[in-house]
Structure formats: C-alpha cells, structure tokens
Chains A and B, each alone.
Chain A
Amino acid sequence: MKRAALSKVAAVALIVVIVVVAVVAWLALRPKGPAVKEVKIGVVLPLSGKLAETGADLKRGIEFAVEEINAAGGIKNLGGAEIRVVYGDSAGKPETGAAEAERLITEEKVVALLGAYQSAVTKTVSEVAERYKVPMLNPDSTSPALTERGYKWFFRTTPHDETFAAQHVEFLDYLNKKYGNLIKKVAIIHEDTEWGAKTAEAWQKHLKAHGYEVVKVVSYHAATVTSLDSEIETIKAANPDALFAASYVSDAILLVQTCKHKDFNPKLILAQDAGFINPSYVKEVGKDGFYIFSREVFNWDLLEKIPRLKAINDRYKAKYGVDLNGNSARDYTGVWVLYYAIEEAAKKASPENLEEFRKAIRDALAAIDLPADKIIMPWAGVKFDSKGQNIKGRGIIVQMRPEDGKYHTVYPPELATVELTFPMPTWAERGG
C-alpha cells in the first residue's frame, strides 16, 4: 500500500517535470525574428457579439484595401513586402479588445494597430498601444474625448462629433450668405445619452461663437420616449428659424411626425446623422422626411462625384455584392493611410528592428499630409494635429429629395450633386 502510494507520487512528480521541461523547451526553441517578406498589421474589430454585422462590413473594407495594396506591388520601399492583417476579435467589449491588442503587439509582433470602431473599445485598445509604444490608427470612432488624452501614438482619420457640429454652423453661414440672412434663431432637440448631450453642447458653443441665438434647448430619453408633443410645443413657442436634432431611430420618426401634427414649420431642420440616415427611418417617415437635412460621413451619390471612388466601388461591389458605405469606406481609407506611413517609415528603419520601425511609422503618421485625390472619402485630405486628429476630415450634408425619396449631397458645394431646397416648404405647401 505504501509502495503504491509512493509510486503514484513519483509518477505525478515525473509528469510535472515533463510538463515544465516541455514548456521551457518550446519557449526556447519557438521560431523568432520576422523575415521581411511581409509586414503585419493588427486589426481589432467587433467580429462577434451585437455588432458582428458592422464588424464584418468594416473587415471587408480593410481586406479589400490590403488586397489592392498587395496587388499593386506591396510595400515598395521594402522590396515589395506584402501587408498581412492579423485580426483580433473584440467581441464588442473593451476588456477583450485590450487583451487582443496585447496579443497582437507581443505575440503577433504587428508593426501597427488599426481599429476598433466602438469608442469604448478604442479607448482601451489605444491605451495598450500607447503603453507598448505601438502606433494606432483609428479610422472609425467619433467620440471627441479620444483625441483629448494627450496620447502620442494615437491617430484618428475620421472627423469626430465636435467637428461635425462646427460644420453644421458653417452650413448655416453658407445658407445665410447664399439665400439672404434667413436664419438667426436656432432651437436644439436631443436625446440625453453621452452622444446627444455632447452634440448639443458643441452646437451651442459653435452657434454662439458665430453669433446665432439659441432660443431653446430640449432633451428627452430616447429609450422610453413615447410622445414629443410638449417638447415640440415649447420649441414652436420659441419661434426658431432652424431646428437642430440629435436623435436615434424611433425618436427621429416621432420627431418628424410630431412636427407635422403640430404644423411646426422651421425654415430648416438639420439632423446629426444617426437615426435620420437609418433605412427604417427613411422607410417609416416616407414623404414627411422630404427636405430634411442631415450630416453624413459618406453618401451613395458621391460615387458620381469622385471618379476614383466610382472605380473602386465597382470592383468592391463585384467582389462582395454590396456598395461601399460610410463604415467600410472609412476603414478602407484607414489602411491606405497606414500604408503610406509604412512606405515612409521603410526609408528610415527596417521591420527587423520592430521597436525602431514602430517609432518610424508613428513619426511618418505625425508628418503625413495626403491630398484629397489620394483618398476616397469626401475630405480635404489627411493631416494630423498634435493631438492626432485629422484636421482635414469633414462630413457632408445631405437633403432628402422629393424626386426619389433619397438623400443627396448638398454641401460642401464642390461635392453637391443637386441644388438644395431652402427654406423647407411648410407642411401646408406640401399638401397632406
């Protein structure tokens, strides 16, 4: 009995020793050092979870850009080395995104990170990148706070919510100049989460700076709102020339319907993207949504305006069966921006010294200045300020047209595909 127990102990000890030796041997012998046949980029996206659909869309944009770059001869300054993307699935969670970023940086030895769509995940992923000194390009998160953290390794190509607010006010200036000073008083209605509240704040700031009078600010809770009657009544009583709205889908529908019922006729209704560009909003409001303006990052009719975009979209559609949209186009652009930076970095450093190469990419991003014709977004180009924000990014403003019930680009003027209608006709003028 004692002997049996002893041999069991010996067996267990032997197993433990073997395991330890095997682990140590594997750690010592596993292949090291990347050959410069390829350069790895780490991409963190929500590939599963509630946002898996969006993640798949973003991923197509990235995949397509990488294929194009490699087909065109890869990274020329590295003798045609190919770009390879290693994906990390954030599952839509900040903590998983952070862990994936660590894995991509340390185990996959990526030269740079790209992602991560949701602002919360981008926050933790970029924190890891900053800590490990790895450049991160963020093509798709719009929380203004992201570029206010004093990070040195974080670059954002997309304009953020504050930029959009500033652009709305510039649009008012443009209308006043072109159509005679019709707008002086502005009212704001917004849903009350972070996004709506921050947008309303930014609007007030920029409106006041441009000499407009903010006559009323009203908020509501989008998740529970069932009526906006009293909100629209108070706004109507303040008699604004323009109404600015930050709403999600069902509340946007309610808002438009309430304006009609209460016969509220501002000269302009200008929305901040989100609910107003959702397909189910478009379907639900029908012709009541005509003439309403919204901010967008991208619009289908840009294809006709930007020749380069048309050609790319044709190939994209042939491959995936869908058009490029605001999400896939922004991530597509992000990969190209990163590619240009890698080409620059390759002049100064080699990926064999990973640390140096990452630093060189960071410096190249900080110094980058791409003209508008190098990208497919409706931006003036790509150039980062000291906070890492692209100062040449901008949104566009679209108006839903009665001709086809679709949104058409109306601003900035050089991208406009139709003449805008202003002031909006009253509900009576529209008839029914």
Chain B
Amino acid sequence: MKSLSLKNMSRILVAGVVFSTLLLPVGLPAQQSKPWEQIAVPKLHEFNPHQPKRIQLKNGIVIFLQEDHELPFVSGSVLIPGGGRDEAPAKTGLVSLYGQTWRTSGTEKMSGDAMDDLLESKAAHIETVGGEDSTTIAWDSLKGDTDQVFALAVDLLFHPKFNAEKLQLAQQQEATSIVRRNDDEGEIAGRESNKLVYGADSPYARQTELATIGAVTLGDLQAWHDRTLGGKLIVSVSGDFEPAAMEAKLRAAFEALPPVKPLPARHDAFHDTQPGVFFIDKEDVNQSNVQIVGLGTDRHNPDVPTLAVMNDILGGGFASRLFQKVRTELGLAYAVGGGIGFSYDHPATFRVDVLTKSASTVDATKAALAEIAGLTTRPFTEDELKRAKDDLLNSFLFRYDSRDKVLAERVLLEFYGYPADYLETYKAALEKVTLADLNAAGKKYIHPNKLAVLVVGNGPEIKPDLDTLDLGAVKNVDITIPQPKASAAEEKKQ
C-alpha cells in the first residue's frame, strides 16, 4: 500500500521469522498420516513494523507520532500518571467520577453539552477516562477537522471547568452500578475474588460505596486535575497527518509547561493469599462461578517468559490442560481457563476460573485444583513445551500487526519505564524457555496451599456440598451493599 519508513524499522524486526514444523504429539496413539504436515509453509513476507517517532521535550513530556495514511482520520491521546489506586480510601471512586465529569463538564469557553453537539456533527470524539493508575484524554476526527478537534482537546486538558450538575450525574451513574453489583454472578465473583487476593482495603481491590462516592466534591476533582497534570504526560498522535506540522503543533501546546514532577513511588504491601473455601449464595442461578485465586507477579520478574509458556500449557486455548480435562474430557464447563497474571508494576493475580452447573461444583473444582497441583507434580513434556511455544511465537505477530498496536505498546512501555525493545527481548526469551525452566517455575510459583477458592452459586443446589472439597470450613462472604444513613442518590435528586 505504501512504502515503509526505514528510519525506525529495526526495533521489533521480525523479518524472516523461522517457523518450525509441527511435531508428532508425544504420548498419543499413532495416527495413520498427517496430511497437514505435507503442506508447504513458505517464508513469511518481510515485515518491519512501523515505529512511531519519539520526541522528548525539555520539560520531560514525551510525544509519539505515528503516521498512517490508510484512512482519512487522526486520533490522539494524553496519558496522565495517577489513578484510582492513588485516591483517598474515603473517596474511593473519585478518579472514576473525575473521568466522567471532566468531559461532560467542558471548559470555560464551551460547555460539555455544546461540545457534544459540535463533535457529533463531525463524527468526531473527545473522551476522558479515569483508570487504576492513570487518566486519559483521547480524541479522534476526520482529517479535515484535526485542528479544530485538537484545539478543543487541548482546551479541555488545560482549562476544564468542573460542573456540579455533571458531577451529580456521574454520581448517580456510579450509584446505579453499586446497587446493581450483586445482580450478575460473574461480576460478584471477579470483585470478591480480588478482595481475597489483595485484601478488601487494598487499592487494587477496594470498591466504591454509596458513601465514598457521595463524599466526592467538585473541589476534589479540580484538586486531582491540578495535581496530576504536572506529571510526566505521554502524548501520542496517529493517523493521516503531515508529521512536521503536527510536531510543531504539539510542541507549541506542551513545550512551555514546567518540568514534570513524577508521582511519589508507591509502597504497596502484598501478602500471600489466605487459603480456604469461600462461598456466596445466590438463589437465582443454576451454575456456579468458581474462582481459584492467589497472588501473581509483575513483568519485571525474569521468569515471566517461562510463566507465559506455563500459562499456555495450563489454560491457554483448546489444547491446554484445563480445557482438555474439564471441558473436553469431563464436559463440566463451557468456560474454563486461567493462569498466573503479570502486571507492569505490581503483582497481578493468579486465577483459574470454572463455570459449571450447581450439582458438579465440587467435581469441577477438584478437577481444576488437580490440574493446578499437577503443575508441580506432573512433569511438563517436550510436546507441551513445543506446542505452547508454537502457539505463542507464531501468533506473536498479532501484537504489532497494525500501526495503532505498535504505538499503543510503545506508550505502555514508556509509561511503565520499560525499554522500547521490550517485546523483542521478551520474544527472544520465550524462544529460550526449556523444560527445566518450566519444572522449576512450577515448583517456585505454584503453591496450592496459598490459593483461595471462591464459589458463587446456588447453595441448596450444590450437592455434594463444598465441605467435601476437604479444604477446611467453608466461610460465607457477606456481600450486602452498605446503605449510608440517607441514600446519597436519593438525597441528591432534584
């Protein structure tokens, strides 16, 4: 379609990746012939993923420019460090409310409602979002509207005017989610299992309550904005633009800002998960949602490539141990899978989940637990290793098969302080994982006695009952939604 720029091509060079042929599965009965092995696999077309241009301003702000002229659109975003984990516990939900109210409020010059009218008439968007460790303002428009939409986004970034009515609207939305949070079994299971891993008060698990969102004021939103805007912003723009002009425009908008002030480093404490069986009764379901959880790890851990291979063997796809056993062989679940999670800057969760009919809750849980324990007792095989590597490496391309994906990855690495060639290094490490690595990692990271089992399901239907798991007394978890003295939502109603 268009010639690739040669300037930045070498970062994730995957030209001429050598694919190995499929091996005979070991331990399975012989097959008469394997016609698919006779099919030629030509050399992959040469591919140099197009890297964005990185510009570091004197004040520390980083800009990425990713040209892409396939379609007449331009999109951009500013990633701002600091998110929900950094908010005061008594105001849990502040950052989420901030993310909603920032955009709907608008600026001194243009209200959020007027902005809606203008942008939608152009099929353009500007949105703001509050996340766990960052907040974002993002925009996109047709090429012809680039300047106008960018100017609006910059105005919103630097001159928001938080509006009381819009905060109230966001609080009502949040209150609706809170009162509805026990309706869906999967939502309960995800939320409550996180609390088992991190502790209910942890910034990675605590939940919004009517009281905590009711405590958030307009002043809190402005203070949050002022505090985080001085951080190391990462600005990225992609699409159909002229690079020199775009760079000049971005420099004009961001160069004059004062030097960035990094957020103070976090010192979160993480502990082993309290083992045991936990139960939440839900009368209107006929299927149990079983979560087997513990503490995971983070991507700084050099064992992560090995763990990725182990995850693939345990719960990645149709050929994994969990899928083969619990779904294909036993027919006990439609949804089953999991593995050790790794986040960029804190331990993620180890999680295996199984959804099974009430009556087979114990059988399915035992089967899943046996597969987890098997990671330490059932030696990994050459075939499992080979299969997992083929799986991971042959689909690795899909991490950067579009310019937007390449850009998003670079922004992520910049944000968490990883080297720009992280993916390349990671891929090389995946290729080197050995059976010995796997067996060692199984012993090092899999501790069945440090896993909690959470079951959300229909108590009377679960036969045999959960005591027969033989993992100690079953602890009931209370998920009653706390009501503030007077319902915040009611009080705020006009």
State yes or no: do A and B come from one complex. no
Residues of chain A at the chain B interface (Cβ within 8 Å): none
Residues of chain B at the chain A interface (Cβ within 8 Å): none
